[in-house]
Amino acid sequence: MRIIPLLLPTPYPVGPVNAYLLPGPPVTLVDCGPKTDEARAALEEGLRRASCKFEAIERLVITHGHTDHFGLAAAVAAASGARVYAHADEVPKLVGDRSFVEPARTLITEAGFPSEVADALFNVWRSFRGHLDRIAPTHLVADGDRLPLEDGSLEVLHTPGHAQGHICLWDGKTLIAGDLLLEEISPNPVIEFDLEGRRLHTLPAYLRSLHRVAALEPEVAYPGHGEPITAPAARIAEILRHHHDRKERLARMLAGRDWTLRDLAAEWFPGLDLRTLFLGLSEVMGHLDLLEEEGRITIDRRGGVLHYRVAAPDGG
C-alpha cells in the first residue's frame, strides 16, 4: 500500500497528529486533524506536496472520534464530497451526542470530588468543541469490512479500548493503527459510557485489542502520533508489560488501606490539572477494572463515594 504521512499540529499536550494519504484509487485520507487554522494549513500544504488537492479526496476514514483525529472532517467532506467512514460506536462522539455528561458527572462525584470540579471539567471540554465540526459518517464500517484500494483492499479491524469504536486498517502487512499503538506514550483508554450511561471497561478491551493485533504480526504500524513503528510486536509487548506492572503497583497500593479514585489519581499523577484530570482518572480506573475483573478488589459506596480495597482472600 502506498501511504503518505501528513503531520498536523494540535493544541493538545499529545503534540502533532498524523493523517495518512493513500493515493489510491480511490484517493483516501485516514484522519484529518483538529479544526484549527494551523492544522488546516498543514493539511493543505501536505496534500499539495503530495500533488493532491482537498477536492480530490474521495474517501475519508476516521479511526476514532477524538477531536485531533476528526475535527476537520466536515470541512474535508464539504470541500471534496468525500464519503466519510467510521465505526458505528464512534457516531455519538462525531455528532456531538451529550449523553455522557450525566454519567461523567456521577463518576466525578463518586471519585470523591466536589460537584464544582465536574462543572469546571465540562467548561474545559466545551472549549475543545471549537476544534471540531460535527459530522455524521456517510458509511458505517464494522469489523471485517473491506475497503477497496488500488488492486486490493484494506480490512477494517474493530479495536475497541482507546475509544469504543476505534478501528485500524490492515492490508496483511501494514497496519494503520490510529491510537491503538503509539511509540512514545502508552495510549490511554479514556473513560467512556454506553448510550445507557453504563461505564465501559476500556482498558481490558484495549488489552484484548492489542493481543488481537499482535497475532496478525504486522511488519510496520503507522500510528496516530509519532513515527512509523518498525517493530510492532516488540512495542505491543512493551505496552502489555507496562500495564501489567502498573496493575500490580496499584494492587500493592490498595493493600494498605481504602482509597478513592481521587486519592489514587493524586498519588499517581501529582499536579493533574483540569486538562489532564480525566486522562489521569481514566488511567487509574482502567487498572482498577483489570483488578476487578480478576476478582482482586472490592468496591464499597459510602456517602456517594466509591472506596476501593484489596479483596479479602478466599474464605477470609
Provide the binding-site residues for Zn ion, judged by CB under 5 A: 66, 68, 179, 224
* Residue (31 or 289) nearer to Zn ion, CB: 31
The amino acid at 144: G
Please report, in angstroms and rounded to a whole number, the separation of the first and last CA atoms in the chain.
58
* Residue (218 or 224) nearer to Zn ion, CB: 224
Determine the Cα–Cα distance for residues 255 and 173; give it in Å rounded to an integer. 44
Cβ 238 to Zn ion, closest distance in Å?
19
Determine the Cα–Cα distance for residues 174 and 170; give it in Å rounded to an integer. 6
* Residue (162 or 287) nearer to Zn ion, CB: 162
Strand partners, 170: 155, 175
Cβ 138 to Zn ion, closest distance in Å?
22
* Residue (112 or 224) nearer to Zn ion, CB: 224
Strand partners, 22: 28
* Residue (68 or 89) nearer to Zn ion, CB: 68
* E runs forming strands in the chain: 4-8, 17-22, 28-30, 59-61, 83-87, 139-141, 146-149, 152-158, 167-170, 174-178, 220-223, 297-302, 305-310
C-alpha cell at 126: 466545551
Which residue is at the shortest CB distance from Zn ion?
66
* Residue (10 or 308) nearer to Zn ion, CB: 10
* Residue (33 or 224) nearer to Zn ion, CB: 224
Closest CA to 165 of 240, 251, 89: 89
C-alpha cell at 263: 486519592
Determine the Cα–Cα distance for residues 299 and 123; give it in Å rounded to an integer. 30
Contact 18, 223 (CB under 8 A): yes
Cβ 225 to Zn ion, closest distance in Å?
6
DSSP state of 193: B
- Residue 185's contacts (CB-CB under 8 Å, 6 or more residues apart) are 14, 225
Cβ 100 to Zn ion, closest distance in Å?
15
Cβ 224 to Zn ion, closest distance in Å?
4
Cβ 202 to Zn ion, closest distance in Å?
12
Cβ 83 to Zn ion, closest distance in Å?
22
* Residue (285 or 297) nearer to Zn ion, CB: 285
Determine the Cα–Cα distance for residues 83 and 89; give it in Å rounded to an integer. 18
Cβ 65 to Zn ion, closest distance in Å?
8
Determine the Cα–Cα distance for residues 246 and 250; give it in Å rounded to an integer. 6
C-alpha cell at 53: 488537492
Strand partners, 7: 18
